[in-house]
Chain A
Amino acid sequence: MDHPRVLVVDDDADVGEFLRDALSSWNYDVTSVASGREAVDLISRQIFDAALVDIWMPEMDGLQVLDEMKRHDAALEVVMMTGNPMVETAVQALKSGAYDYLIKPLNLDELQHLMQQVLEKRFLSREVHSLRSRLAEHLAVKDLVGNSPGMTRVREVIAKVSDSDSPVLIEGESGTGKELVAAAIHRQSGRNKGPFVPVNCSAIPADLMESEFFGHVRGAFSGAVADALGLFRSAHGGTLFLDEIAELSPALQAKLLRVLQEKEIRPVGSTKTHTVSVRMIAATNKNLEAVVQSGGFRQDLFYRLNVVRIVVPPLRERKSDIPALLAYFLRRFNERFRRDVKGIAPDAMAALTAYDFPGNVRELENLLERAFALGARDEIERANLPDFTSKPDAPTAAVVDALPTLDQAERDLIARALERFRNDKEQAARALGLTVRTLYRRIKKFGLI
């Protein structure tokens, strides 16, 4: 098989050698040169599939090399590298059409993934991305679709709880649409004129949670330049949707419990309390009761939140909804891609209904979008869908198949780095772009001692 050809341009011989080793071990055909001039000279005589170019080089710098390369072959994918990242070079590299901008020390996982991406014949995810950005509009699913017994029950409970002000706990796997359920409750409730404030509890650093939730007064801490409302007061008169509630720190759990009991909050640094009228809807993809049992979540808070519990069923338990979901997404994607796909071919339908959808509705949506991006016209055919036996996100190009697994390549490189630096773990770790601790862990994992 013809190996993809990669040109490495770096005046640092060690980096050049390192990259040559790494890329050859992944079955790339590597040519390495030490100056921009040599590189420019070479690309006029040889064809390459991709280039890795250092930005800081004497004589002719990497950005000039990039311009020359693009002038010569606009389709050549050029990845810029730098040990000294700066706004100017990052902006200029991207504006000149670089494929990406890597910061040294290079991370091998990142590099391997990037090279696969660069060389995959179809830049599928990227195509989907640029298509989406050209047609930017709000695409997220807004409706709860389906009439399976499971979804009908969910809708009944939503209708029932909308009138009351009691907290709601929503449980369901990722991609089942928990936020949609929360938004539907808000929309159907008397609070629908008020704000709906969603927050992902797992994304907020623990030590910043208190001020995010309860706000702060000016001067409460350095950086508190003005009073901030925080989430609760921002949601006053409306609904606060706490996603991934199981990730809340114990301290915050205690404070949240108090808010549920007292209906008032005290901003950080303030002596005054504020009464808030907020309906709380919490959601989790875990079994919160089990988290309580293992001691990760307060029981009293669980009881307070669990007044009404809605379990959103996974797609595999409501497969009868698949046709309705498909019709829904076909309509949306037809609009967006300006196509007229009329339906799903029987073999494609059979494959879809036989599949388990670990990523639930979101995965189904992504599959259809991918089919559209791949050019589905009249109807979605089996060939427009990925091989369900493999991981849905795994790259599919032949180039990838020829490569060793990440584990193999990693083991190989670590062994070589240890050899080169005569078992000096610190030096080897630096060369590999790993922390010493991580290196030790990998050494143990791969049994390299």
Chain B
Amino acid sequence: MDFRESASRRWILVADGDEASARFVASFLLQARLRAYPTARGLEAMQLVGRFRLGLAVVDVHLLDMPGCDLVRKLRSIEPALPVVMTTGDYSPATEVQARQLGIIQYIHKPIDLQRLDRVVSRIFSPDGETAPRITVASDGNAQT
């Protein structure tokens, strides 16, 4: 389980062609005291992975400059064991089949269910639950710590 050791020292990349969505998810993770970086572009994501170890990537199927699946392949060439969550507003089965062949740990339809994301993140960043982010999601969908 090499991706778990020192997960707390790692960053979470949030890549989404819809930049507001990337920022929303990143801000949710930051509130949970995790370090997250939002971007709408795959190339910017690649710059980040050159400087920081990633512990998780939340990647949407659509980015501004490349397909999300291509970005995941590029990220994996640098972090082979990188856990990946794919998000999409595209509900077609073909998209899901394509994404799942990348070996992802979760496939999430938009709008993103933050509680689901939180559980996936907790599993990676605090597998023993000891320092699990205490996040509750209010009925208006806003994250609270």
- Tell which of A6-14, A148-156, A225-233, A400-408 binds the partner: A225-233
Tell which of A110, A196, A244 touches B9, judged by Cβ atoms closer than 8 Å. A110
B96 in contact with A85 (CB, 8 Å): no
Chain B residues, CB < 8 A from A233 = 93
A203 in contact with B80 (CB, 8 Å): no
Chain A residues, CB < 8 A from B120 = 204-205, 208
A205 in contact with B122 (CB, 8 Å): yes
Tell which of B33, B34, B103, B109 touches A226, judged by Cβ atoms closer than 8 Å. B109
Tell which of B76, B83, B109 touches A140, judged by Cβ atoms closer than 8 Å. B76
B8 in contact with A129 (CB, 8 Å): no
A203 in contact with B49 (CB, 8 Å): no
Tell which of B6, B53, B91, B111 touches A129, judged by Cβ atoms closer than 8 Å. B53
Roughly how many angstroms separate A231 CA and B86 CA in the complex, as a whole number? Answer: 13
- Tell which of A67-75, A99-107, A296-304, A345-353 binds the partner: A99-107
A-B contact count (CB 8 A): 134
B30 in contact with A225 (CB, 8 Å): no
Roughly how many angstroms separate A132 CA and B46 CA in the complex, as a whole number? Answer: 10
Known A-B contacts A226-B91, A226-B109; the reply to A435 vs B77 at CB < 8 A is no
A204 in contact with B105 (CB, 8 Å): yes
Assess whether A257 is interfacial by the CB under 8 Å rule.
no
Assess whether A33 is interfacial by the CB under 8 Å rule.
no
Known A-B contacts A114-B9, A130-B51, A138-B73; the reply to A85 vs B33 at CB < 8 A is yes
A279 to chain B, nearest CB (A): 15
B130 in contact with A208 (CB, 8 Å): no
Chain B residues, CB < 8 A from A437 = 130
Chain A residues, CB < 8 A from B52 = 100
Roughly how many angstroms separate A249 CA and B36 CA in the complex, as a whole number? Answer: 30
B79 to chain A, nearest CB (A): 9
Tell which of B2, B49, B53, B110 touches A225, judged by Cβ atoms closer than 8 Å. B110
Tell which of B49, B76, B103 touches A199, judged by Cβ atoms closer than 8 Å. B103
A113 in contact with B9 (CB, 8 Å): yes
- B68-85 at interface with A (beta carbon < 8 Å): 73-74, 76-78, 80, 83
Assess whether A86 is interfacial by the CB under 8 Å rule.
yes
Assess whether B59 is interfacial by the CB under 8 Å rule.
no
- Tell which of A87-95, A305-313, A370-378 binds the partner: A87-95
A134 in contact with B107 (CB, 8 Å): no
Assess whether B26 is interfacial by the CB under 8 Å rule.
yes
B96 in contact with A229 (CB, 8 Å): yes
Roughly how many angstroms separate A126 CA and B113 CA in the complex, as a whole number? Answer: 34
B37 in contact with A90 (CB, 8 Å): yes
Tell which of B6, B78, B96, B107 touches A133, judged by Cβ atoms closer than 8 Å. B78
B116 in contact with A223 (CB, 8 Å): yes
Roughly how many angstroms separate A126 CA and B36 CA in the complex, as a whole number? Answer: 19
Tally B residues with Cβ within 8 Å of A.
55
B107 in contact with A228 (CB, 8 Å): yes
A56 to chain B, nearest CB (A): 14
A159 to chain B, nearest CB (A): 24
A346 to chain B, nearest CB (A): 31
Roughly how many angstroms separate A128 CA and B38 CA in the complex, as a whole number? Answer: 24
Assess whether A270 is interfacial by the CB under 8 Å rule.
no
Chain B residues, CB < 8 A from A91 = 37-38
Nearest neighbor of A141 in chain B, beta-carbon distance: B80
Roughly how many angstroms separate A132 CA and B27 CA in the complex, as a whole number? Answer: 28
A136 in contact with B78 (CB, 8 Å): yes
A208 in contact with B116 (CB, 8 Å): yes
A205 in contact with B96 (CB, 8 Å): no
Chain A residues, CB < 8 A from B100 = 195, 197, 199, 229, 231, 234-235
Roughly how many angstroms separate A227 CA and B90 CA in the complex, as a whole number? Answer: 11
Chain A residues, CB < 8 A from B34 = 103
Roughly how many angstroms separate A199 CA and B120 CA in the complex, as a whole number? Answer: 14
Assess whether B101 is interfacial by the CB under 8 Å rule.
yes
B76 in contact with A200 (CB, 8 Å): no
Assess whether A24 is interfacial by the CB under 8 Å rule.
no
Assess whether B142 is interfacial by the CB under 8 Å rule.
no
- How would residues 205 to 241 of chain A score, 1 for a CB under 8 Å from any chain B CB and 0 otherwise? 1011000100000000011111111010111000000
Roughly how many angstroms separate A136 CA and B116 CA in the complex, as a whole number? Answer: 31
B119 in contact with A207 (CB, 8 Å): yes
Chain B residues, CB < 8 A from A196 = 101
Nearest neighbor of B112 in chain A, beta-carbon distance: A223
Assess whether B144 is interfacial by the CB under 8 Å rule.
no
Known A-B contacts A107-B8, A208-B120, A225-B110; the reply to A136 vs B77 at CB < 8 A is yes
Tell which of B33, B77, B97 touches A139, judged by Cβ atoms closer than 8 Å. B77
B1 in contact with A202 (CB, 8 Å): yes
A195 in contact with B105 (CB, 8 Å): no
- B103-134 at interface with A (beta carbon < 8 Å): 103, 105-107, 109-111, 113, 115-116, 119-120, 122-124, 130-131
In the assembled complex, 21 residue pairs joining A and B whose CB atoms fall closer than 8 Å, in A order, are A85-B35, A86-B30, A87-B23, A87-B36, A87-B38, A100-B52, A103-B30, A103-B34, A130-B51, A133-B47, A133-B50, A138-B73, A138-B76, A139-B77, A195-B100, A198-B103, A200-B83, A222-B113, A226-B109, A229-B96, A234-B97
10 tightest A-B CB contacts, nearest first: A223-B113, A133-B50, A198-B103, A226-B91, A85-B30, A130-B50, A234-B100, A203-B105, A205-B123, A205-B119
Assuming A130-B51, A133-B49, what are 8 further A-B pairs, CB within 8 angstroms?
A91-B38, A114-B9, A129-B50, A136-B74, A198-B101, A199-B100, A200-B103, A231-B100
